[in-house]
Every structure is written in C-alpha cells, then in structure tokens.
Amino acid sequence: MSKIVVSVFVALTFFRLLRQFDIFETHEGRQLSRRSSWIFALIGAFACSEVCNAADITRTPSAGGLDIIQLRGVMNSGDEDVFRKIAAESQKALIALDSQGGSVKTGIEIGKAIRLRGFATVVASNALCASACALTWLAGSPRFLEPSSKLGFHAAFRLVDGKASESGVGNALVGAYLNQMGLSENAVVYVTSAPPEGIEWLTAAKAKETGIDFEMPRSDAPSSPPGAVELPNDPLAAVVGFYGALAVADGETAAAFVIPDKRGKGPFSEANIHAFYSAMARPLTVTSTTRLSTSDVRVGYEYKTNAGRNCQGRADVQTVYQFGRTLISHIKALDGC
C-alpha cells in the first residue's frame, strides 16, 4: 500500500473518530465548532505533511530489463532522497512523471540523479507535468511525451531552501541546471523566460524552435508507461491541503494545489505566500470548512501577524477537476483578510 493511501486512511480515521464524539456537527457541510478548531488544525497539518507534501515514488521491474519508476503527486523536500534510493536498484529505467509541481530544488535534484544514471523520462497519456516536474523531465535521455499529456514551465523558482529568492537568482540556478543537462542556449532562454503568471505549455512547434528534443512513446514498446492516475474529486481535501501549506508558509506546495494557468498571480504567487505567511506571530489555522456545492468550499481561518494584526476571516474557494485531480481555481475573501 502506498504512503499516500496509508496517510489518507489514517486522516479519514481521525475524521471518523471526531464525528463519533460529536466534535463535528452532523448537518451537510460538517462545519467545525470553534472550540475544536485546534483539533482541525492538527489534522490539517498532519494531512499536509503526510499527504500533500510527499510524492508517491514506486518502482516496477519488467521482464525486458527496463524498470518503470513512477513519480506522482506534489514534489517536496526529501523526495529526492527517496528517489535516489529507489533508482539505485535499477540499471535501466523509464521515469514516468505525473506531478503538478512542488519544490523546484527537489525537481532539480531528482533531475540530476536521472541524468547521472542515464534514465529516460516520460509524461504518459493524460498526465500533467508542470513547474518543478517539467525541469525533472528535461533530464531524461531520451525524453518522451504523449500527445494527450500536458507539460509546462513556470517562472524561475521563487524559493531557495525555503527562502524567498530574487527571480535573477532563481534564473541563475535553473540556468546552471539546464546547462548541466546539455540544453541549447535557446532552450535555456525559453525555460528561464517562462511567465511569472501561469504556465508556458510545451508544444511540438515550440520544442523544435528551442531545441528541446523529445520522442513519442512507441506503441509496440514491451513496457508501456502507465498513464495518469485519476484521484477522486475531493474539494475539501484540496482546500485543507492548500491552507495547510499556507500555515507553514510553503508557497511552492500551496501553488501545486492551484490550476496551472493561475499560478504566480496575486494570492497564488509562491513568493507572496511565503513572504506573507512566514511573518506570523500566530500561524494560520483553519477553524471551519463548509461544502457549499460539488465544487465550492467555504473555509474559516485565523492568524496574527508579527505587526500585531489579528484576522478572523472566511473565504469561498472554487475548485475544478483537471488532470485527474482537484485543483483550486479562485478564492474570494469575505472578511477583508
């Protein structure tokens, strides 16, 4: 059983126990009473640390001698160590990527390990590989991309070891990595010039123009890479994950819960998230969640800034189901904070 499945099971068990002891109200929406908000905060932190902040990395040996190493979910610090240990068991491997992004440093470190071992990379059918994941994919030798997959680059990374970074520094770090991968000058300019708001999607025409070579997976290959895994549509889990990342000022993880086309903008900016939520005398905690519809959630929260400002706020969060996962598309603050 994967670590994500185990973590979800444990988290759901906590929720069931809370309902059993009447901590949650029983009406639709399951709004949390304020006196029990600290318990909700504890569960949110647990869920984010165990589920939101770890990619699921597995290795499947094949009879033909080519192992399939799958990397799914948000990439975060520590995943590079897990990947290295798993990759050390393979002499020849195809790295199948299905990740909405996360820590760019982790994506780069995994990419370095892939290039060192001469592994191939692939974004399989209907899978998403954005931001940090796209940098990892560039390390493949060769690189494969299915026509139905989506691969996109975000602006040069905003955080270095958890600290806000100037875009010039980010570009230099990413540029050095791309040079290590042997990419052309045009490719380096293309990747480091990706928009700060949204995603630059790689197309066949753009790949040819920039010299980012890739191949289509062969239909007659002995071991076809697995396609994207569709997770259940779960707006509450996406909201808890997003706000759990805000609580620890993790802008990269928070952005991974946002639709790719809106990343880097306003409240969805990795740098802005880190700068604002790291300046807290009392970190953000979620006090309530109410399911408003099949896609919308109202969340209550509170925090206190280092400047002494207290906030007890609410927001309506809209979600959409894209790329086999629930992502946040819009947030409307209701109480001015």
Q: How far apart are CA 6 and CA 114, in angstroms?
A: 27
Q: pLDDT at position 231, please?
A: 76
Q: Which two tokens stand for residue 239?
A: 């909201």
Which pLDDT does position 53 carry in this prediction?
55
Which of residues 297 and 148 earns the better pLDDT score? 297
Q: Which tens digit of pLDDT belongs to each residue from 177-211?
A: 999 999 999 998 898 888 878 889 999 999 999 99
pLDDT at residue 229 in the model: 65
> What SS3 string covers 48-95?
HHHHHCCCEEEEECCCCCCEEEEEECCECCCHHHHHHHHHCCCCCEEE
Structure-model confidence comparison of residues 124 and 278, the more confident one: 278
Highest-pLDDT range among 126-135, 192-201, 257-266: 126-135
Q: List Cα–Cα distances, 299 to 42, 235, 289, 296, in angstroms.
A: 16, 11, 4, 10
Residue 222: other Cβ atoms inside 10 A: 10
CA distance 218 to 142: 13
Which value, to the nearest 10 degrees, does the dihedral of the CA atoms of residues 17, 23, 29, 31 take?
-140
Q: How far is CA 216 from CA 18, 122, 201, 316, in A?
A: 49, 9, 17, 41
**pLDDT given for residue 317 in this prediction:** 97
Confidence at residue 11, expressed as pLDDT on a 0 to 100 scale: 41
290-304: average pLDDT: 97
75, 53 Cβ separation under 8 angstroms: no
Residue 103 pLDDT > 50, yes or no?
yes
Q: What is the pLDDT averaged over residues 232-248?
A: 94
| pLDDT tens for each residue of 65-87 | 899 999 999 998 899 999 999 99
Can you point out the beta strands (E) in 141-220? 143-145, 150-153, 159-160, 163-164, 200-201
Is the model more confident about 54 or about 334?
A: 334
Least confident of 54-63, 140-149, 175-184, 301-310: 54-63
- Helices and strands, counts by H and E, the chain: 11, 14
